[in-house]
Amino acid sequence: MSAIVPKQYNFLMSHPDPAIQRMIIAEGHNIVNSLDQAHIVVFPGGADVCPMLYGERPLDCTRINLTRDLKETKLYRKARALPKIGICRGAQFLNVMAGGGMWQDVNNHTRTHDVFDTRTGEVFPVSSTHHQMMIPPPHARVLAWAGESTVKTCQEVTVRLKNEDGEPLGMGDPEVVFLKEEKSLCFQPHPEYTGFVPCRKYFWELVGLFVFTRVHIKRKG
């Protein structure tokens, strides 16, 4: 029996975020309050993901909300079968839940910067507010990179990249990751911010390709 793919989808927020909710509604979709009604679960931005979830101790610069981490971990486990979208902190959370790690601090990312789309080669500006960075698990597909950070720090090591003249060089920073097995799209920029039209367009393009296509709705009767 084939699945029916609707034109409107029901999104469940793991945590309230009015700007993301407005963006979803503006695209003609719905916000619901029950997992039973949801086609897709969205994990929005917020505090840093607790390093205990990926086997590290917090650095002094890491600011966590353990109550939210526990709540969203519980929701994630219940929503395993559903497609999931993470934005900023939410992207990092989904990455960690899939077995990925985190750089607890990176430089040059609390500002607007360019990303490189690995599918098309397109380069365009995105919003950026995060000071941490995903370390994707081996099975992840990186959809977009940035080359901004010159220093990355985790519990065990600090990495600095310089050229032969001692000048800092940008590293490969995974900005957008897709985790096929977990049905998770991890999007570190903020498509809900105004003034970033290419970023929002890119976000919805990826949602159409990697999220909507994985919604399965059983035919009634």
Which pairs with CB-CB distance under 8 Å and at least 24 residues apart come from 204-213?
A: 204/27, 206/143, 206/176, 206/178, 207/85, 210/178, 210/185, 211/40, 211/83, 211/85, 211/183, 211/185, 212/5, 212/9, 212/83, 213/5
Query: What are the residue boundaries of the structural domains of the chain, listed by start?
Result: 10-145+173-214
pLDDT digits (tens, 9 = 90+) for 62-114: 999 999 999 999 999 999 999 999 999 999 999 999 999 999 999 999 899 99
Question: Does domain 10-145+173-214 match CATH 3.40.50.880?
Answer: yes
pLDDT digits (tens, 9 = 90+) for 6-50: 579 999 999 999 999 999 999 999 999 999 999 999 999 999 999
- Other Cβ atoms closer than 10 A to 60: 7
pLDDT digits (tens, 9 = 90+) for 111-136: 999 999 999 999 999 988 999 999 99
Whether 136 and 184 have beta carbons less than 8 Å apart is answered as no
